[in-house]
Amino acid sequence: MIVFRVALAAALLHAVGMGQFAFREVDGKSLELTDNGAPVFVYNHGIMLRDGVPSDRARCCYLHPVWAPNGAVITDDFPKDHYHHRGVSWMWPEVTVDGKTYDLWTIKGMLARFEKWNRREADRDHAVLGFREGWYLGDRKVVEDDMEIVAHPVVGGRRNLDFTLKIRATGDPVQIAGTKDSGKGYGGFNIRFAPRTGTVIDTAGEANVKDSDLVPKQWAELTGDFGDKRAGARITIDAGNPGGASGWCLRHYGFLGVDFPGLRPYTLTASAPLTLKFRITLVSGGGAALARKVLVYTRNYTNDGKGYVHDNIAASVAAIKRMGAENGFGVEVSDAPTSFADENLKQYKAIVFSNSNNEAFTDDSQRDAFRRFIQSGGGFVGIHSASGSERSWPYFWRVLGGSFLYHPKFQKFTIHVADRSHFSTRHMQADFEWEDECYHLQYLNPDLHPLLTTNPTRLDDNQRERHPFGLVRESLPLAWTLEADGGREFYTSLGHNKESYANPILYRHILGGILWAMGDQ
């Protein structure tokens, strides 16, 4: 009989670290966001000017300071080398109105002004700040932009800030473009970094890059030593932005800029707003070069060739690769059991059995390598049919938390969230409807901590006589965490339907489980 420690565990998790976001006004010009009392960023909505700086550099509508999760201030404002640079900003050096070009970047002839708040929400799980700004030629507004920023909790020394910017002309069409100066093309969404030493810039697919212009990459990250704290930030371009991955302005003096639209002008109209989305990941510690990798294992094999192979494997792998790109961990995929060797496994923070099934390994040396990985503190994640892997090896059952018995037909059923404090479940409603295969298990580790459950007596099940009701009674665990034999394990039985991996409910559920297994919570 399983003893479920849900109430106690949930209370302990709440006691040791669930933050609370809050906004507060600062001197009538700025709005600060904090998380559990620690500052996250300040949005400057009033006109700002520093002593000793020329008056024509006065401006508003940007984020500064911005803090890394370890407390380092990573942004700069009014730096002497470029007085017009300011924290996190969105600005263009060429804005053409009625055939004449103005410069929002260096504030020549055009100024952005704050107009109104659209949203201001703060709770335990996230904060949302929405506001409208106008681009003015004197008293004439020619463009307005609506920005929405969503701040997320810290996970593994990293915090995500999601930005959605919608820009439209207020009357006749307006063109925006990057600078033509030396063909650099910079202009768009930017971060100016505070003074630091030991600067490293990494990009998608390339580490420790040099300064460059207009080289397309999905993301770029700058890290350095800000005083006695190693920190930095990554900008990730949303795949849905016009043109996909833009070029970049990368500068080791402390600048990351997304060059949109580059040298080719983009026309803003009143009827069709331009929408641009970016994620800033605030980093404590080192950058992309750190070994935060997972191995996604997909082997399906039986000696008689009769095992079921799920058609969801490609979708699950694609989703996990996207999670890695968005959250700063590497993803390598294999279905080769020879991957399970000590020298190879030591590079991974976690192993993900993604819809694997039947015999995962071909010999005991591979099983021993798997065991040593767990015993050394490695993370393990099982998704859906992973509970059908290694059906003859009790050690694997204990680490995963259960062993597959059978499932009723694919159907809709009610899921209860047993623990809403975990990062894999906190986005879910307390109870919700889900369509899937509901797995029944013939073994359950008595130490597992349930995250999701359902009542098996309410299922349409023509094999009911096989169900181990004495094991679970009316609370069948569907997802759980476990700390077994030195490792951190997460399992979810959800995910039979390949389309489900694009569903935010399952996507965030699996992401939270992977991060937890890597020790990021």
**Would you list the DSSP string of 159-175?**
EEEEEEEEEEESSS-EE
Provide the token pair at 430.
């307390």
Find how far residue 337's CA is from the centre of its chain.
Answer: 30
Cβ within 8 Å of residue 15, ≥6 positions away: none
253-268: pLDDT as tens digits? 999 999 999 999 999 9
Cβ within 8 Å of residue 512, ≥6 positions away: 422, 423, 424, 425, 426
Domain ranges of the chain: 19-284, 293-517
**Would you list the DSSP string of 204-269?**
TTBSSPPPEES---SEEEEEEEETTEEEEEEEEE-TTSTTSS-EEEEETTTEEEEESSTTS-EEE-
pLDDT at 311: 82
Q: pTM value?
A: 0.63
CA distance 380 to 399: 8
Residue identified by tokens 């039947």 is 358
Domains 19-284 and 293-517 share a fold: no
Which segments in the chain show pLDDT lower than 50?
Answer: 1-18, 288-290
CA distance 451 to 421: 9
Detail the DSSP E strand segments found in 292-363: 293-297, 300-301, 330-334, 350-354, 357-358
Q: Which 3 state secondary structure label does DSSP give 289?
A: coil
Mutual orientation of helices 313-327 and 504-517 as an angle, nearest 10°?
60
Residues in the chain: 521
pLDDT at 290: 44
Angle at CA 398, nearest 5°, toward 397 and 401? 80
CA distance 22 to 146: 21
Q: Which 3 state secondary structure label does DSSP give 158?
A: strand
CA distance 45 to 305: 65
- Report which of 404, 345, 332, 427 is spatially closest to residue 379, judged by C-alpha positions: 345
pLDDT at 305: 53
Angle at CA 320, nearest 5°, toward 315 and 326? 125
Longest Cα separation, the chain: 82
Detail the DSSP E strand segments found in 393-518: 402-406, 411-417, 431-436, 440-444, 449-454, 476-482, 488-492
Provide the token pair at 480.
């759980």
Q: Which 3 state secondary structure label does DSSP give 483?
A: coil
Mode of pairing for the β-strands spanning 440-444 and 197-203: unpaired
- Edge-to-edge, what's the strand order for the sheet holding 431-436? 330-334, 293-297, 350-354, 379-383, 488-492, 476-482, 449-454, 411-417, 431-436
Helix/strand/coil percentages in the chain, nearest 5: 15, 40, 40
Mode of pairing for the β-strands spanning 379-383 and 350-354: parallel
Q: What percent of the chain has pLDDT over 90?
A: 70
Element (H, E) at 19: none
CA distance 347 to 366: 16
Provide the token pair at 122.
């703060």
Residue identified by tokens 């039986």 is 302
Peptide bond just before 261 cis, omega within 30 deg: yes
282 in Cβ contact with 157 (< 8 Å): no
Instruction: Print burial letters for 274-286: b (CB count within 10 Å at least 16), e (below 16).
Output: bebbbbbbbbbbb
293-517: what fold?
Answer: Rossmann fold (3.40.50)
pLDDT at 303: 54
Name the β-bridge partners of 443: 403
Find how far residue 502's CA is from the centre of its chain.
Answer: 14
C-alpha separations of 157 from 139, 282, 304, 334, 406 in Å? 44, 8, 47, 28, 40
CATH code at 19-284: 2.70.98
CA distance 489 to 479: 11
CA distance 330 to 456: 37
505 in Cβ contact with 481 (< 8 Å): no
